[in-house]
Structure 1
């Protein structure tokens, strides 16, 4: 019984899993109950509520943001549960701007005690978050191309698709690595910046571990797939096309 070619199966398996993870990173939070907990960061405004016009938290994703209230859990249990009430429309070049989400009367009112410098922080990171979204789109497109190349190689077995597969693997790996690095910087540095500027006010932030885990898992799978694809490309034997009938007659003569 022939043993399965694990080196040949690993790249396509890694690409498929990375493709799913990248799609989840892109579309998380674009609808209610669609991985709304897998956010890049969450902005908390504890003094928000129905009377102030501000929600108690805003979870920021790649292409949208969700808002809601914090529900109290059972007595004695730590923390609170998030209840998402609404998510914004998805946009590829999305960037969260609190001054657009809330009216000026709220951001400058006494209820929220909103530090204006935090709005400047979001504005400063606008191009960075948009570039991150573009990298995720490039990454998912490259991984999709890897899967299409593998399907085409099964359909037409004589065509050598190894170089194309490796090239798309490298493109996807680089794109996802850059996107993950940007997401990590935003998650850690930006959250620390918000907490520092919001110290003494009613504003705080926390980063999302689920999103970063999915993003780096996809980047790691694509890197491993690129290495295995390169090894397969180097070790692949050269397949010569069979000689035609005229050539055979000359050899026999």
Structure 2
């Protein structure tokens, strides 16, 4: 009875791990569903800022007051210096106004080019939308407008960028914005990593669910076939654990590498990326829960084997219930009676002779 109650530990751990990996698989599969649990998010609100900065730099006024008052003294020198300072103040205000205009344009730059402000990558889909209240606000929210199935259509985010730029008002391409082969290589790496991760995670969901079913079945199997039930749970939970570890490593290392490359190479064109730390935590918590389930079944199996070896060496295991105990002591009493009868018969024969 005590052992059956303790089986609740791996059942609860397997159930929690199964729910977590299932949510990790379905996150972002439709607009607004667990949008914050993404693998990688690309911020394209400033994409093409290199074109904007060139235009604003060309329109900034150049200083014409440098060295103008050199060589003048007395009242003329003071008057010239005062006029020069006033001119520099006006010039600074003009430059600041141009920068403010540039920032306002940058906030609407993605809409102007015909693309969305962000693209979030999930296991089953790629979602796109705009930031709220705006792209330059600190910690902006997300307004998802559309999600494209990635598992069936592929995870080529750069192809989505390029397509939306070409149908935009300016008919641009990524090459027009300064995309290099290195940036495209980073996106290709992400495409391969995400495909591998999706396959591993789907297998992890299936194995974690199988581990849950095996734990539930052990409630009925252990009283009848204890060794087979324990061994099967050890194997299933171990395989599920290894797959979860593989998926966690792929998403953690892969997303960090891609984000680092995109941020280094995409800064000049206004492209940035962030890794989904919440998603990473999700996967590692699932790993921890499956470790609990595996450790329980391994401990139970090793305890069973120690008990079996003790029985094989001639030391009887403690009786598990009153029925086994009475049977054991009944057999012992019967053997003693037989021994005493044989002893009396031998003694009688010896006296007759």
TM-score range relative to shorter protein: 0.7 to 0.9
Structure 1 residue 174, shift from structure 2 partner = 0.6
Residue-pair matches, total: 243
2:117 alignment counterpart: 56
1:11 alignment counterpart: 10
RMSD in angstroms over aligned alpha carbons?
3.1
2:290 alignment counterpart: 222
- Greater share of residues in helix: 2
Structure 2 residue ranges without an equivalent (≥5):
47-108, 167-171, 309-316, 325-329, 339-353
Structure 1 residue 118, shift from structure 2 partner = 2.0
2:149 alignment counterpart: 89
TM-score under structure 1 length normalisation: 0.83
| C-alpha contact (below 8 Å) 1:153/1:159 kept by paired residues | no
SS in 1 for 2:42: strand
CA separation of 1:38 and 1:96: change in aligned 2, threshold 3 A: farther
| C-alpha contact (below 8 Å) 1:41/1:191 kept by paired residues | yes
CA separation of 1:159 and 1:196: change in aligned 2, threshold 3 A: same
Structure 1 residue 4, shift from structure 2 partner = 8.2
- Write the mapping of 1:96-175 to structure 2, written as runs, cut at 5 A: 96-100=156-160, 102-103=162-163, 105=166, 106-108=172-174, 110=176, 113-156=178-221, 157-160=223-226, 161-175=229-243
TM-score under structure 2 length normalisation: 0.61
| C-alpha contact (below 8 Å) 1:146/1:165 kept by paired residues | yes
| C-alpha contact (below 8 Å) 1:115/1:201 kept by paired residues | no
CA separation of 1:152 and 1:6: change in aligned 2, threshold 3 A: closer
Equivalent-residue separation in structure 2 for 1:207 and 1:29 (angstroms): 15
| CA offset digits 1:133-166 (Å, max 9, x no partner) | 1111121111111111123233444233111111
Equivalent-residue separation in structure 2 for 1:115 and 1:188 (angstroms): 20
| C-alpha contact (below 8 Å) 2:124/2:151 kept by paired residues | yes
| CA offset digits 1:80-121 (Å, max 9, x no partner) | 1111111112527953332145327344365x5544532221
1:178 alignment counterpart: 246
Structure 1 residue ranges without an equivalent (≥5):
none
CA separation of 1:227 and 1:151: change in aligned 2, threshold 3 A: closer
Equivalent-residue separation in structure 1 for 2:132 and 2:181 (angstroms): 28
Bigger CA radius of gyration: 2
CA separation of 1:92 and 1:229: change in aligned 2, threshold 3 A: farther
2:265 alignment counterpart: 197
CA separation of 1:93 and 1:3: change in aligned 2, threshold 3 A: farther
| C-alpha contact (below 8 Å) 2:161/2:174 kept by paired residues | no
1:188 alignment counterpart: 256
Is 1:42 the counterpart of 2:41? The answer is yes
Equivalent-residue separation in structure 2 for 1:217 and 1:92 (angstroms): 28
Structure 1 residue 46, shift from structure 2 partner = 1.1
| C-alpha contact (below 8 Å) 2:111/2:117 kept by paired residues | no
